[in-house]
Structure formats: C-alpha cells, structure tokens
Chains A and B, each alone.
Chain A
Amino acid sequence: MKTYEDLAGDGGSNIISQVVSQREKLRSRLDKIKNKVALMSGKGGVGKSSITANFAACLVDQGYTVGILDADLNGPSIGHLLGVGNDQKLQIDEDGIQPGQGTLGIKIMSMDMLVSNPDTPVMWTEEGGATAVWVSTMESTALRELLADTNWGELDFLLIDMPPGSDRMDNIRDLIPELAGAVEITIPSPLSQHIVAKSITKNNTMGVPIIGLIENMATYVCPHCDQEGKLFEGQDVSELADRKGVPLIGKIPFDTRVSRKTDSGNLFYTENKDSITGKAIAEAVENILNFIEKKSK
C-alpha cells in the first residue's frame, strides 16, 4: 500500500499551494521594509503604545519612513494616538488595503480601522459561540493578513505595537523571522518588573533578539520647574537589566503632556523634543538604531 510520501499531490485540495502563495505574498510585502522592531511588555498599562507612537515620531524627525502595525487586536489604540479615526473609509484594491495615514505621515494598520464603529469590539462570528480555539485561530490569521495585505510600500521601519503579555510573540516570530529585535518596556514597580522578567526569559528561550529594556515613567517631571521626582517606588530597573543580561536603553520620565498630546492626535515628541522626556525618547531611539547598525555589520 502506498504511503503518504508516495502520493505526490494533495488530491486536489490545493492547500499546499495556497499556503505557499500566502507566504510569498507576505514575503514580498516585508521585503520592502528594511527594519522590523517589536515593542512589548509582559505587563499592560506601561505605556507601550504611547512610546511606540513617540518613537515613530522621533524616527520620522530623523528622516526615516515609518509604519506601525497595531498587533493589539483586542485593545487597539494606535489609530487613536495618531489621529486616524474609525470613520475613515477603507481603500481596498487588488494590491491590498491602504494603511491609515497618521500624524507625520506615519502609516498604520489597526483592527480599529476595520470595525463598523468606534465602540465595536473585535468579535469573530455573530453567534457569540466562538470557542477559545476559534478565537486564537482567527487572531493568528488576522495578524498575518494585517501584515501581508496592507500596502505598506517602502519603509525604513515597521514598529509593531504588541499587546500585553508575551504570547503574541510566537506569531510574530513565525511571520517575521528577520525581526530586528524586541524592545521590552517596564515601569519601575516591582510587579511590572516581575512580569517583564518572564517576558525577557521567554524571548531569550525563543531566540528573539532583545534590543534592550526601557524604563517608562522612570521619574516625574514637574511641568513648572522641570525638576524630576520619583513616581513609583520600586527596585532599580538597571538591576533587572543586569540580572537578565539585557542593556537598559532608556529611562523615560513621565510628562503629563505626553498623554495630553497623544489623546489629541498629535505626538508629544514633535513639539517637545528638547524637553527632558523628549531627549530621553531620542536617546532610546538612538540606542535602537545603534543596535540595528551593529547587527547588520
């Protein structure tokens, strides 16, 4: 009796050629993007999206072309932060879907752009009977389609704003094996550091390059006198960096103008690059660029 290997084709199911075609489509899209960087944290609420948006602004300020993939499928915020409203009509043709044009011309793709109104959650199937397996399946597929079907064009950087937790990295690593690396973000609190330590361990285990650790809300900057003070009590984040063997590439102070600016669709960095926080953002971005430059040699 013949074995699996003896049967040359797939009996007309045409599955293999479609999977190959999907991969080719993804590859042709990603080949036009020079550097892909994931910004992540094991912990939610540490300011990943805000940092991602302001890093993008800093890169644009240096002359780079930048896109952001909002990989937080269930809690998308990049559209809001970069002024791309849910009411914008989608432009789709055979070549793909046009990304949203955010502040400073930053190209974005986010689930928020695809649902019918701003309050609509991301749900798969109408019946509400979606199993956990089904939801997980659809999220993996959605991420692939958002990457492969968005007409990103030529970009210097694609920043990937990851959801809280480290589980989505399995998908990203599979879809973008050439990922330059991941930037881990924490706040000073012991709880955040505890969870981010796990995320770093997982990335190390999976072989995902870690560009470095960023301490967000490291201090508080007084808007009146520019004096810095502690915002959180906690262990020194540099100890975590040393313990996990990753560089601490940025300490970004909390500035109330960050949230005020981003919530209005503008970006803090653009108008405040000479502030203490603006300079800290630029320094962190410089460290990311140095990492990528060293890696490419």
Chain B
Amino acid sequence: MKFLCIPCDEQMETQTDGIMPDESKNLAMKFKCKKCGHMIAMLTNKFETEFVSKLGVEMGGASADGKAPLSVVGSQLSQAKKELDRGKPEDNLVWTEEAQERIKRVPFFVRNMAKKTVINFALEKGATLIDGKLMDEVREKVGM
C-alpha cells in the first residue's frame, strides 16, 4: 500500500517515529509528504492489523529482534520457552513490569517503532524509568 499527497503528487513517507498503536490491535501509522509536510494517519481495525501481520515483517525496517531466528513465533507464542522471549526491551532504561507488558502487547510488526518512540520520549524528558504513566504521556504527545 502506498500513499500519495494529491496536491503535491508526491509519495508520502512512512514515519518511523510517533507511532503509538493501541494494544487492542487498532493500529495507527503516520505518513508525511516530504514536499509540503502534510501528514495523514492510517488507522486499521483489529482484522486489518492481523492481515498486515501475516507478512511477518516490521514496518519501517527489521530490527535486531525481527531478524533473529523464530522472531515471530518467539514473540507471539503463548508460554514459549524463555530462550525465545523477545518481548523484553533492551536498553539502559528501567522498564516497570506494567510497561514491559504493554509494549509486549503491541503487534510485533510495529513493536520496535513503538519502543523507539517511548525510549526517545523518555530520553528527551531525562526520565530513567519507563512506566505506564510515561507511556500514557507518549500516547498523548504523539496524538494517537
């Protein structure tokens, strides 16, 4: 799927930050026209989100987790062995259990983008702890 800015007749670019998908699998993705800067959001329902996930890819490029063996099975299989667990964020920030659970519930193909957005927000703010409150702030800030 591609998006076109009609006034500029230019392809809109996928924004790899600012995405904050709802954990109920209602996905929101931003696209921006590089010529005029106009932005739109693509909103999908649960079934459309599942359809995109079928490709087993990550929006905006594969992360290290996404390139790892059994990356989709490991992140989506309930009660998988510990060796396969890829849900835990890897950075120097402290993630509360609630925050970890929330990020794990984000569909795998946009999880990396969502993680980056949260981390960048925390770093900008000088926060060292990522908790549910901070994640709510991110959602409010990015407007999704």
Residues of A at under 8 Å CB distance from B? Answer: 1-2, 4, 7, 9-15, 18-19, 21-22, 89-90, 92-97, 114-117, 120, 122-126, 131, 133-134, 137-138, 140-142, 144-146, 149
Contact = CB atoms under 8 A, between A and B. Distances in A.
Interface in B26-71: 31, 46-47, 50-51, 53-62, 66, 68-71
Interface string B94-122: 00000000000000000000000000000
A11 to B, nearest CB: 5
Nearest to A10: B2
A12 B54 contact: no
A219 to B, nearest CB: 41
B9 A1 contact: yes
A138 B6 contact: no
A149 B69 contact: yes
Given A14-B62, A89-B83, 10 more contacts: A11-B13, A13-B14, A14-B58, A18-B62, A92-B69, A92-B83, A122-B77, A137-B50, A142-B72, A142-B77
A93 B61 CA distance: 21
A113 to B, nearest CB: 8
Contacts of B69: 92-97, 145, 149
Contact of B79 (A89, A120, A137): A120
Contact of B55 (A12, A15, A117): A15
Interface of B: 2-4, 6, 9, 11-16, 31, 46-47, 50-51, 53-62, 66, 68-73, 76-84
A19 B62 CA distance: 10
Contact of B57 (A2, A18, A134, A149): A18
B27 to A, nearest CB: 13
Contacts of B59: 13-15
Contacts of A120: 79
Nearest to B50: A134
Contact of B71 (A4, A124, A145): A145
Contacts of B56: 22, 141, 144-145
Nearest to B9: A2
B71 to A, nearest CB: 7
A115 B79 contact: yes
CB-based closest 6 A-B pairs? A149-B69, A18-B57, A12-B14, A123-B78, A90-B83, A14-B61
Contacts of B76: 124-125, 138
Contacts of B54: 137, 140-141
Nearest to B57: A18
A117 B16 CA distance: 38
Nearest to B24: A129
Contacts of B61: 14, 18
A90 B85 CA distance: 12
B14 A90 contact: no
Nearest to B29: A13
Contacts of A18: 55, 57-58, 61-62, 66
